[in-house]
Chain A
Amino acid sequence: MATIDSWADMDGAKTGYDVLIVGAGHAGVQAAASLRQLGYAGSVAIVGEEADLPYERPPLSKQYLADEKPFERIVLKPAEFYADRDIDLLSKRRVVGLDASARTVALSNDTRLCFGTLIWATGGSPRRLSCDGYQLSGTHAIRTRADIDRLRGELTTTERVVIIGGGYIGLEVAAALTKAGKRITLLETQGRVLARVAGEPLSRFFEAEHRAHGVDVRLGVTVTCIEGNGGRVSGVRLKGGIVLPCEMAIVGHRHTACGRRTDRCGCRGGGRRRTGR
C-alpha cells in the first residue's frame, strides 16, 4: 500500500507519522489494522515498549503460563502483517514526553517523532505493592510475556505460592498453578473474590471451585509485608502477625493506567484518549 510520506528528513529517515499509536497491545494493533481495513492510506506506526511482536495478553495467565501454547501462537498478528500493511512497529522504546501543541513525542531512545494524530493506547501496568519486600526475588507481577517467563523459570524450585489479589488474574493464576501441582494460598482484602467485577453469587461460585481444587482462599486479610531470606521471598506476613511461608509471591491486584499525565500535555478528550485533527 502506498502511503503519503511527508514525514522524512533529507536522508529519507522517518521523522513522523500521520497516525502514531502509542501502545502495542490489543487496542493499538487493532487501531492500526482497522485504519488499513477502512482504506486509510497515510503513514502509521505503533510504539511499544517490549521487544516481542505484539501478543494476546489474556492467555498469559492461562495457556501460556500453563505451557500449553508457545509464544508464536499467542501473537496478535504474524510478522508479515505489519510489513504487508505498511505499519511500522517501533519496538523497545517508550514515549517519555508529549507536546500536543507541537505534535511531537519524545522517545526513550532520545529521539523525537512528529505526528498528525496520536492514539494513546497504553493500557495499564500492575500496581506495585507499597509494603516492604516487594522487590525481593521470587515476587512476581503478571503483565508481560517476560513476567511469565521469569515466573515459569522459578517453578521447578517452588512448592508454595502466595497470590495477593482475588481478581481475575489472581484466580486464573491460582488455577493454572494448582494444575501444575503447586500449593496455593490466595489472599483477598475484600470479603469475597471478584468483588469489584462480579455479583456475590458468582464470587461465591469461584471461591467454592477454587477451594474444591485445593486453593487456600483467605478473605478479608491484609498483607503487611513480604518477608525474605538472602534476598529471596520466604513468606508473606498478614496483619495480625500470621506469616504464610512460600517460595513465590505473585501480586495480582489492580492495574493503574499508564501515562496518567497526558492531560497535562494539552490533550483533549478526558486526558488520555487521543489528540488530533
Chain B
Amino acid sequence: MSTLKVTNREGVTTTVNATSGHSVMEIIRDAGFDELLGLCGGCCSCATCHVYVDFAFVDQLPAMSDDEDALLDSNCCRNSRSRLSCQIAFSDDLDGLAITIAPED
C-alpha cells in the first residue's frame, strides 16, 4: 500500500497508509490527526485543511483551482508549498508524499 508522511504541529513525523482515490485531507483525518479540522468536509469552502507539501512533489500535484487559490490567500500562513489537502486526490504516483500540517490560522 502507498504511504503518506505526515508531520504534525509538534514537528513529529508519522508514516500512514494512504488509499488511492481519497483526498489527502481524508487520509490525514482518518489516520487520527485531530489538529487538521477540515471543517467544510472537503468542499473547498474553508481553509482548515491547509498543509505544506514537500518540494519534491509540488509539480506532481493536481493544479490549483481559483477557489483554492483564493482561500489560501485569506490564510495567515501561506507559502509557496501551501495546498488545501482536500483538493489533492491521492494516487499511487504520490506514494511517499510528505506533508506538514500548517499552523492554525
Task: Report whether A56 and B42 are in contact in the complex, using a CB–CB cutoff of 8 Å.
Answer: yes
* Alpha-carbon distance A81/B34, docked complex (angstroms): 9
Q: What is the interface size of chain B, counting residues whose CB is below 8 A from a CB of the partner?
A: 14
**What residues of B have a CB within 8 angstroms of the CB of A254 in the complex?**
none
**A: contact size bracket:** 20 to 34
Q: In the bound complex, do residue A59 and residue B42 qualify as a contact, i.e. CB atoms below 8 Å apart?
A: yes
- Give Cα A67 to B58, complex, Å: 30
Q: Which residues of chain B are near A36, meaning CB under 8 Å?
A: 34
Q: State A84–B40 Cα separation when bound (angstroms).
A: 24
Interface-forming stretch among A72-80, A90-98, A122-130? Answer: A72-80
Query: B30: CB under 8 A from chain A?
Result: yes
Q: Of A26, A58, A84, which one neighbours B43 at CB under 8 angstroms?
A: A58
Tell me, rounded to whole Å, the shortest Cβ–Cβ distance linking B36 to chain A: 11
Assuming A36-B34, A58-B40, is B45 touching A73 (CB within 8 A)?
no
Interface string of A18-36 (1 = CB under 8 A from B): 0000000010001001101
* Among B22, B30, B35, B41, contact of A56 (Cβ-Cβ < 8 Å): B41
B66 CB to nearest chain A CB (Å): 14
Residues of chain B touching chain A, judged by Cβ–Cβ distance below 8 Å, are 22, 26, 29-30, 32, 34-35, 37, 39-43, 45
Cross-chain pairs A/B with CB under 8 angstroms, 14 sampled? A33-B34, A34-B34, A56-B40, A56-B41, A58-B41, A58-B45, A59-B42, A63-B42, A63-B43, A73-B22, A73-B26, A78-B30, A80-B32, A81-B32
